[in-house]
């Protein structure tokens, strides 16, 4: 079992969606990320170079969620996962959950979300 780093409930404002009002008005998005990585070298050395800087993960995620609009949250999640794996070579696998709390869907619910898991091939 691998060690994990979690960043949960990161909040952003983006313009992703299929409907025109989503692209024009925007809405809130929350993102949860789990990074699978061997943390033993960092724990033994107390050296940030042996782990992942959480601020870098947050900023990468923010650039994507607050960046150019995509139609699907699936595409947002895929872009986040792809960039995490490209940017951080010591991440072996990542899980990305994109939460859309206020989609334009009539009814009563807390949120809609998708979650993907991607790893090195």
User: Mean pLDDT by 10-residue block, N- to C-terminus, for the chain (121 residues)?
Assistant: 94 94 92 97 96 97 98 97 97 97 87 96 76
- In this prediction the pTM is 0.94
Cβ within 8 Å of residue 29, ≥6 positions away: 11, 12, 13, 14, 16, 65, 73, 76, 98, 99, 100, 101
- The pLDDT assigned to 77 comes to 98
Residue 40 tokens read as: 């033993």
- The pLDDT assigned to 50 comes to 94
Residues of the domain holding 12 = 3-119
* 67: CATH: 3.30.1130.10
DSSP-derived 3-state class of residue 16: coil
- The pLDDT assigned to 65 comes to 98
Q: Does the active-site annotation cover 24?
A: no
- The pLDDT assigned to 2 comes to 86
Write down the residue that tokens 């949120």 correspond to: 111
- Total domain count for the chain? 1
């Amino acid at each position: 079992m691998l060690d994990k780093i979690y960043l949960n409930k990161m909040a952003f404002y983006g313009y992703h969606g299929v409907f025109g009002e989503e692209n024009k008005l925007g809405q809130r998005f929350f993102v949860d990320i789990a990074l699978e990585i061997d943390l033993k070298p960092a724990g033994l050395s107390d050296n940030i170079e042996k782990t992942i800087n959480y601020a870098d993960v947050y900023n990468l995620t923010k650039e994507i969620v607050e960046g150019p609009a995509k139609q699907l949250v699936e595409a947002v999640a895929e872009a986040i996962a792809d960039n995490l794996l490209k940017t951080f070579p010591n991440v072996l696998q990542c899980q990305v959950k994109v939460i859309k709390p206020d989609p334009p869907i009539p009814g009563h619910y807390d949120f809609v979300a998708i979650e993907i898991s991607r790893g090195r091939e």
